[in-house]
Amino acid sequence: MDGDVVVVGAGLIGLAIAFELAGRGAAVRVFDRGEPGRAASWAGAGMLAPYTEDVADEALLAMGVSALGQYPAFVERVRSASGLDPHLHLDGIVHAAYDGAQLESLKRLARRLRERGVTFDLLDRSSLVSSEPWLGTDVVGGLCIHGEGYVDNRRLGRMLAAACIARGVTIAHASSVAIECDERRVLGIRTNVGFTAAQAVVNACGAWAAQLVGPPPSCVPPVEPIKGQMLALSAPVSLVRRPTWLPGAYLVPRDDGRLLVGATVERAGFDVSVTAEGVHGLLHNALAGAPSLAGFAVTESWAGLRPGTPDGRPFLGVTPIDGLLLATGHHRNGILLAPATARSIADLLEGKGGDELEPFGLARLGTKLPDSRRTTAV
Ligand code: GLY
């Protein structure tokens, strides 16, 4: 790889791409209006859960499953470059049911898992209560999906930034960023501090990907912010050991005892306020399933913006402008999909592979694209 790459957006997606490219010998600069690893990358719960999310889209599910398989090695690479630990746990995700209809729905999920060869435990009331005694006495049964889990996404963001720097990536703050291109190809980016030339520019701006100025309309992905409010409780360490889905809320533990409660799903533009209704709904649903949490202190509340797309698939790969790539629109699964996205985008930039990105291209909007392998190699 002999050209400079600019990644716009220092979230987990942008940082993972930069880390991967730098490992393959590219000179990479990352620009962001904020600190690295923030926005949705910081606000999420870090669940690594393609089956729990019950992704119906086969292409997206396949990418999620592949990404889940890549996670341990990805974390190991980032750990050895940064010296930091992101607390990866893949001990399963628990789903709890409180009535017959919810139990039936878990059994249907279990049938789909069996057809795919995914291992799980269907739990009757007594085995669920004995493994998760903090759950309410109204619980009637549950399901534990093996192999899924979570990573501390805030730690992963700090770690990826450090790993990028260790590999020679420049991470720069810019209060404004605009892409510059001629009619055929990308030239670089112009920030408030000047022009940076690049052979390739990757739009990894998450929920802001459609706001990035400069490219023609045919290169702008239809991404919109989908707000998620969350809060954290201070619970005894290891009280809740695995992420647990309750009706209307999920709980995700942290090694320091924080217990995250998430998340709302709202179309509210770029508003990131935490509302009374949002907090009330999350706590109501969490305490309905687990009244034993009621006495724990609420230590934090926040909101983030998932990058949503009309069909739920991310936009990954080439655009009509040679050298301008997209890596955005990961909606509920950005943390999970970061390593797979990074690998595929790096392959594309090296002029190899990329077929797996076909379902995620702009072509599904009717956009005419150049031959990816011929036009993006740097
Ligand atoms: N992946 C969980 C969420 O987006 O709320």
189 domain residue, yes or no: yes
- The arrangement of strands across the sheet holding 315-318 comes to 170-173, 27-32, 4-8, 200-203, 324-328, 315-318
Domain match, 66 and 159 both: yes
Whether 305 lines ligand 1, by a CB cut-off of 6 Å, is no
Given this model, what pLDDT does residue 373 score?
Answer: 46
Number of other residues whose CB lies within 10 A of the CB of residue 4:
17
Given this model, what pLDDT does residue 47 score?
Answer: 98
Distance 332 CA to ligand 1 centre (A): 4
CA distance 265 to 29: 33
Final residue belonging to a domain, choices 280, 308, 336: 308
Q: Based on the structure, what is the number of domains in the chain?
A: 2
Domain match, 20 and 144 both: no
Domain match, 216 and 164 both: yes
Q: What are phi and psi of 5, to 5 degrees?
A: -115, 135
For residue 348, what are the domain limits? 4-83+153-223+311-375
CATH number, domain containing residue 238: 3.30.9.10
Domain match, 23 and 79 both: yes
88 domain residue, yes or no: no
Domain match, 171 and 279 both: no
Domain match, 325 and 284 both: no
Domain match, 159 and 303 both: no
Domain match, 235 and 140 both: yes
Whether 263 lines ligand 1, by a CB cut-off of 6 Å, is yes
Q: What HEC string does 160-209 produce?
A: HHHHHHHCCCEEEECCCEEEEECCCEEEEEEECCEEEECCEEEECCHHHH
Domain match, 327 and 365 both: yes
Which residue's alpha carbon is at the smallest distance from atom 1 of ligand 1? 332
CATH number, domain containing residue 177: 3.50.50.60
Distance 344 CA to ligand 1 centre (A): 23
* Ramachandran region, residue 217 (left: φ > 0; alpha: ψ -120 to 50; beta: rest): alpha
Final residue belonging to a domain, choices 308, 333, 362: 308
Pocket probe for ligand 1: among 260, 306, 309, the residue whose CB has the most ligand atoms within 8 Å is 306
Given this model, what pLDDT does residue 370 score?
Answer: 81
Domain match, 47 and 18 both: yes
HSE, CB side, 13 Å, CA atoms: give it for residue 46.
26
Given this model, what pLDDT does residue 1 score?
Answer: 53
Given this model, what pLDDT does residue 30 score?
Answer: 98
Whether 306 lines ligand 1, by a CB cut-off of 6 Å, is yes
Which residue's alpha carbon is at the smallest distance from atom 3 of ligand 1? 332
Distance 103 CA to ligand 1 centre (A): 22
Q: Can you list the residues of the chain whose pLDDT is less than 50?
A: 2, 373-375
Domain match, 158 and 265 both: no
Given this model, what pLDDT does residue 184 score?
Answer: 95
Nearest-atom index, ligand 1, CA of 47: 1
Domain match, 271 and 296 both: yes
Final residue belonging to a domain, choices 262, 285, 308: 308
Structure tokens at 51: 């089956």
Whether 262 lines ligand 1, by a CB cut-off of 6 Å, is yes
Which residue's alpha carbon is at the smallest distance from atom 2 of ligand 1? 332
- The arrangement of strands across the sheet holding 177-181 comes to 177-181, 186-191, 194-197
